[in-house]
Amino acid sequence: MTGLELLAVALGMRHGVDPDHLAAVDGLSRVRPSPLNGVLFALGHGGVVTLLAFPAASLLGRVDLDAFLLLLVAALNLYRLLKPTPPTPPKGLPLLNPLLLGVLFGLGFETASQLSALALSAELSPLRLGAFFTLGMLLVDGVDGLLASRLQNLAKDSRRAEEASRLLGWAVVAVALVLALAELGGVDLEAFALPLGLGLFGLLVSLRLYALRPA
């Protein structure tokens, strides 16, 4: 890979660790556990970035969906936390599709990492830019989705894993609400995005290791 392609991968990884991504993937895994949640989310998001890299993509406009989606993530997970045995969500509910959720997040968010990647389209072809940016997101969000889904599966048979799962659920609710309220209030949290995202990812890994320890 060239230096610009490596930069696109790095920007994708940076974007993948944004707290809104991790809150969405972890939250979706609590409602619909699947090891592919993070992969599909990253593919949907990367597809949007690829389209936006083409000159004609500017005609599509941008949709301000970020606060709504984060509030939905918080509400779904809060419902799961407060209901001891929640019903299985309808399989056809579109917003529980990780690929579609990734697409919607790609349309709604304008973070520095995504905008920086789009700026590279002047030097890289849109398809190459999209592929390498998506690869970076896959490395982060794919691992995150795999860990989150395995934690949910463990929670079915292990009290320790169930406790870890609930703690992760409350963390997802808190992060999603903070981000949504900041967006609605016009507060820029970009400076805190990386440490917050790394903290949420670190919490997920720590809870996974905690769940695997013998009681």
pLDDT digits (tens, 9 = 90+) for 94-151: 557 888 888 888 776 556 667 767 767 767 778 888 898 899 889 888 988 888 888 7
Residue ranges, the chain, pLDDT below 50? 56-63, 86-87, 89-90
Cα distances (Å, whole numbers) of residue 45 to 16, 36, 108, 187: 10, 14, 10, 24
CA atoms within 13 A on the CB side of 177: 11
Q: Which residues contact 71 (CB under 8 A, 6 or more apart)?
A: 176, 177, 180
What is the per-residue pLDDT for 57?
Answer: 42
Spatial contact of 41 and 76, defined as CB atoms under 8 Å apart: no
CA distances from 69 to 8, 104, 120, 147 (A): 26, 8, 28, 22
pLDDT value of residue 69: 63
Residue in this structure with the two tokens 């407060």, named with its chain if needed = 82
Q: What is the pLDDT of residue 148?
A: 83
Q: Given the structure tokens 């998506």, which residue do they identify? A: 134
Give dist(CA 211, CA 65) in Å, integer: 34
| Interatomic CA distance for residues 215 and 158, integer angstroms | 9
Instruction: Give CA–CA dist 131/116, Å, rounded.
Output: 15
Model pLDDT, residue 73? 67
pTM over 0.75: no
Whole-number pLDDT of residue 94:
52
